[in-house]
């Protein structure tokens, strides 16, 4: 077992049970504690379960006899068996049970030689921000909508109100060629009565945040029994924000679902879990951030005392002569405080965060998109709906708490094959350490800079590591 632990430390690409490498097996499932299990061990584990007393109620099946669908243990039965041997870890046991069940269900439903295999329609698409994921699922969904039907046929879930509105606007633009296709958006923070009136018009596609969609479902103002396609946009962020239970409840209520698409900038454990639970024969598509499609973003970092970060942000904006800038803060309090400080210094700035009323947030976003507001300050949650092609610079006033957040942040600039700038202001040593971790994680080159005596920005030389002195030997 010690050998397997060492393998996990070296990349986590080995099975914790048999030690097989990820490249040597078909599937590698990773738990929340970092442990891995391959498909071969899953198969062997299921055989052990079947051979135990839990399967005796149905009568033991001869070893050579093929497994039948009616003999397949349900996830609840598998978890019940695991409960006898594993204390706690209910979530891990539940996910494992579903994974084992789905694995054998796939095998049993495999097409025979004389049968026609149905085209794969479950998709997991991972790609950097700005690679056109909305069009990737929006166009096929519109193509498969029956405009003559008043049933809800397509459902898109988004983590934030801003992103839901943005997706809805883009779909309406794509659907302009067919006046009979109706697209509606529902989200929290708005009057539910107005949204009920929208749903009464029988839209074929609904874009929604998970919480508000559940509200409408419980009110019976929206039906899901005719939905064929479900899309989770920004799936990693949505599941990370605490919507896992709502998302799974929604998917389970779409009884006639044919397609499930997971679209994300990064692949997380939660995304993998949803894929295992609800997708069959999924197609995984990864859009690499190579030279051709990677945003052209020059990334800098600049260090200053913590109490001078506001002055540094103002100096950067004025020195770089930025026309449209997004500044990210980690908290709503800091977001509002920085906005007040910038306005006090004569800069035209506004902010969006969770405590601001939805109507005010929409007005601020509209003003920023129109170019009438040069500086927008936002938290990570509120920023998910920001889709502006002409953002000159992204300033990280606070270093993000998660590595993935940095990727999402800087992806707001350098869009549509335009050049962009990203600057992180470092006020403390922990912020410096976190940015170094982010650079290693993302493989981004983040160049330290400083202000020269003439007021211009110059690159700071990275100090070379000092050689360790020779060790003295004591006798």
pLDDT tens-digit map of 146-190: 888 999 999 999 988 888 988 998 898 888 777 789 999 999 878
Residues 141 and 256 in one domain: yes
Chain segment 331-360, per-residue pLDDT in tens: 999 999 999 999 999 999 999 887 888 788
Q: How many domains does the chain have?
A: 3
Domain boundary among 234, 264, 286: 286
Q: Indicate if 129 and 88 belong to the same structural domain.
A: no
- Is residue 264 domain-resident? yes
Which pLDDT value is given to residue 180?
85
Q: Are residues 90 and 191 in the same domain?
A: no
Q: Are residues 92 and 74 in the same domain?
A: yes
pLDDT at 417 over 70: no
What confidence score (pLDDT) does residue 113 get?
47
- CATH code of residue 421: 3.40.50.300
Angle CA 228–229–232, to nearest 5:
150
Q: Does residue 466 sit within a domain?
A: no
Does residue 199 surpass a pLDDT of 90?
A: yes
Which of 25-34, 251-260, 277-286 is least confident? Answer: 25-34
Give, for 405, the enclosing helix (H) or strand (E): helix 403-410
- Out of 286, 318, 335, pick the residue that ends a domain: 286
Domain that holds residue 426: 296-459
Q: Same domain for 197 and 278?
A: yes
Please give the C-alpha separations between residue 159 and each of 71, 163, 257, in angstroms, as whole numbers. Answer: 39, 7, 21
Domain membership flag for residue 116: no
Whether the predicted pLDDT of 258 surpasses 60: yes
In a domain, 465, yes or no: no
What's the average model confidence in pLDDT over 65-76? 66
254 lies in the same domain as 174: yes
Whether 415 and 311 share a structural domain: yes
Looking at the structure, tell me whether residues 377 and 441 fall in a common domain.
yes
Q: Do 158 and 261 fall into the same domain?
A: yes
Q: Over 50: is that where the pLDDT of 26 sits?
A: yes
Between the alpha carbon of residue 136 and those of residues 128, 284, 374, 409, the distances in Å are: 13, 14, 30, 21
Q: Is residue 216 part of a domain?
A: yes
Same domain, 273 and 307: no
Decide: residue 126, CB within 10 A, 0-12 exposed, 13-18 middle, 19+ buried.
buried
**CA dist., res. 410 & res. 418, Å (int):** 13
Is residue 140 a part of any domain in this protein? yes
Do 164 and 313 fall within a single domain?
no
Residue range 44-55, pLDDT digits in tens: 776 666 555 544
Instruction: Give a yes or no: residue 354 inside a domain.
Output: yes
Q: What is the pLDDT of residue 59?
A: 43
- 278-294: per-residue pLDDT in tens? 887 777 777 665 544 45
Which 3 state secondary structure label does DSSP give 425? Answer: strand
The one-character DSSP state at 352 is: E
Q: Pick 82 or 472 by higher pLDDT.
A: 82
Please say which residue of 234, 256, 286 terminates a domain.
Answer: 286
* 421 and 454 share one domain: yes
- In a domain, residue 453? The reply is yes
User: pTM higher than 0.75, yes or no?
Assistant: no
């Amino acid at each position: 077992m010690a050998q397997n632990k060492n393998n996990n430390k070296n990349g986590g690409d080995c099975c914790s049970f048999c030690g097989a490498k990820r490249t040597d097996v078909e599937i590698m499932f990773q738990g929340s504690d970092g442990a891995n299990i391959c498909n071969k061990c899953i198969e062997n584990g299921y055989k052990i379960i079947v051979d135990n007393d839990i399967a005796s109620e149905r009568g033991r099946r001869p070893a050579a006899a093929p497994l039948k669908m009616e003999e397949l243990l349900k996830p609840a039965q598998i978890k019940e068996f695991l409960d006898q041997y594993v204390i706690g870890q209910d979530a891990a046991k539940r996910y494992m049970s579903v994974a084992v069940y789905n694995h054998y269900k796939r095998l049993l439903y495999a097409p025979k030689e004389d049968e026609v295999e149905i085209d794969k329609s479950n998709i997991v698409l991972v790609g950097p921000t700005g690679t056109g994921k909305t069009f990737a699922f929006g166009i096929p969904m519109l193509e498969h909508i029956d405009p003559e039907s008043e049933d809800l046929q397509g459902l898109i879930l988004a983590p934030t109100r801003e992103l839901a509105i943005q997706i809805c606007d883009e779909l309406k633009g794509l659907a302009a060629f067919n006046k009979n296709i109706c697209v509606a958006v529902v989200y929290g923070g708005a009057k539910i009565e107005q949204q009920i009136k929208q749903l009464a018009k029988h839209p074929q596609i609904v874009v929604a945040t998970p919480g508000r969609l559940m509200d409408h479902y419980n009110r019976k103002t929206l039906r899901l029994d005719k939905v064929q396609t479900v899309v989770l946009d920004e799936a990693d962020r949505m599941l990370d924000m605490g919507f896992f239970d709502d998302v799974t409840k929604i998917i389970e209520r779409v009884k006639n679902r044919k397609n499930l698409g997971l679209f994300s900038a990064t692949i997380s454990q939660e995304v993998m879990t949803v894929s295992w639970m609800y997708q069959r024969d999924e197609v995984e598509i990864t859009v690499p951030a190579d030279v051709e499609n990677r945003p052209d973003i020059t990334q800098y970092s600049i260090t200053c005392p913590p109490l001078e970060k506001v002055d540094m942000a103002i100096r950067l904006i004025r020195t770089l002569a930025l026309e449209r800038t997004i500044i990210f803060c980690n908290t709503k309090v800091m977001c509002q405080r920085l906005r007040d400080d910038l306005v006090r210094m004569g800069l035209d700035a506004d902010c969006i965060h969770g405590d601001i009323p939805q109507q005010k947030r929409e007005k601020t976003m509209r003003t920023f998109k129109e170019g009438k507001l040069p500086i927008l300050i936002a938290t990570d949650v509120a920023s998910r709906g920001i889709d502006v092609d002409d953002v000159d610079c992204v300033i990280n006033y606070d270093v993000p708490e998660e590595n993935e957040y940095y990727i999402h942040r800087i992806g707001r600039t350098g869009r549509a094959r335009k050049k962009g700038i990203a600057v992180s202001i470092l006020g403390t040593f922990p912020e410096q350490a976190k940015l170094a971790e982010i650079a290693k994680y993302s493989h981004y080159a983040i160049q330290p800079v400083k202000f020269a005596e003439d007021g211009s920005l110059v690159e700071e030389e990275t100090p070379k590591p000092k050689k360790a002195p020779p060790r003295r030997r004591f006798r």
